[in-house]
Amino acid sequence: MFRALFQTLTPLLLVAAAHAAPLYQQSKFTAGDAGWTVWSARPETRTKAYVDQRISRGEAGSLAIGGASNAAGHGGWEHTVPGIAPGAWYRFTAHYRADAVDAENWQVVARLDWRTAAGKRAGQPEYVARARRDGVWTRLTAEAPAPKDAAGVAVQLYLSNAPAGTVWWDDLTLERIADPGARPVRVASINLQPRGAKGPQESVGQFIDAIQKSVSGAVDLIVLPEGITVVGTGKTYAEVAETIPGPTTSRLGEVARARKAYIVAGIYEREGSTVYNTAVLLDRAGAVAGKYRKVYLPREEVERGLTPGSSYPVFATDFGKVGMMICYDVFFGDPARALATQGAEMILMPIWGGDETLAKARAIEN
């Protein structure tokens, strides 16, 4: 199942430009720029689209859209780019700056609307959803293949239902990239609850033994459960907490290095007087490649002195971009959404126990 799934993923990192010159690139805008038109579905939903010479990211001028005090407002700027090759891969990049927009993730819209030679829609529009903040600007990217009957693409930059808001668009690039090809990934997941361990060393040892006995052949990733340093020990979170890097990451690092595989595991991390429920990512060389501190703590963990994390980081591996969640995080929509909008292609979730349906829901949503 994992192999079939990952052969269909579009890579964010593992691509190379197929042509040196972009198909379209612009960072300077002036009133009356050829090719740019203003669009709305009907007059009643019109926004205020104009070129603003005061605000820009690169050269002078940006494409601005104001909400015009219209709660029904949806629309903005469009520009059609010809010369699209059916089936070829393209990367689109845009930068925007927003003011008084409550929900940028859906009210600030950039998309590629593929067109046939006759100007009709080809396939389905590609929404530009990978976001990265860069000062007051946000960089959006999307990578996708053109539909089989595409000959051009309409670049669409909109503001949606933000009556008091304004968005400025600048630094736009559309370029052809190499077909990324398939990326098969082999994943092993360990389901184990040790019993009778006298401490973290014995508990972790049982997980390492399970890897040696159960995971055969070459794998790219081994995922262990939540809290492997405490399960079965009878200890408190604080008693088993350790630094990262520390003794457990060192032991797991030896396994990762020997197996030439990434390993993800949930442990309890101490930083001064603070204790976190943390998922750690080890690379194929056994080094700590990243960590995530559980944001949503259930009542029991709060009562036992754990501190929540405050961010959802993503990490680059040699097979793609990954994020991590832990157990109770799956009950809430924002952790998976935050990881997806940063480009995570795979979410790795150490878990003690939970509702599998919620994990399916988070995958469907994103």
Q: Strand 187-189 relative to strand 221-223: parallel, antiparallel, unpaired? A: parallel
Q: How far is CA 291 from CA 69, 71, 253, in A?
A: 44, 42, 14
Query: And the tokens for 13?
Result: 């990192």
Q: How far apart are CA 337 and CA 22, in angstroms?
A: 30
Long-range pairs for 69-73: beta carbons < 8 A, 24 or more residues apart: 69/163, 69/164, 70/45, 70/46, 70/163, 71/161, 71/163, 72/44, 72/45, 72/161, 73/40, 73/45, 73/46, 73/47, 73/159, 73/160, 73/161, 73/162, 73/163
Assess whether 202 carries a catalytic annotation.
no
Biggest CA pair distance of the chain = 75
Amino acid at 323: G
Q: Which of the residues 126, 143, 175, 226 is marked catalytic?
A: 226
Query: And the tokens for 15?
Result: 């691509």
Q: How far is CA 178 from CA 19, 145, 149, in A?
A: 9, 10, 19
Amino acid at 337: R
Q: Which of the residues 126, 235, 301, 327 is marked catalytic?
A: 327
Q: Strand 74-82 relative to strand 36-40: parallel, antiparallel, unpaired? A: antiparallel
Assess whether 226 carries a catalytic annotation.
yes
Amino acid at 97: R
Contact status, residue 303 vs residue 338, Cβ threshold 8 Å: no
Q: How far apart are CA 258 and CA 86, in angstroms?
A: 44
Q: How far apart are CA 213 and CA 215, in angstroms?
A: 6
Assess whether 48 carries a catalytic annotation.
no
Q: Which of the residues 126, 143, 235, 294 is marked catalytic?
A: 294
Residue positions annotated with a catalytic role: 226, 294, 327
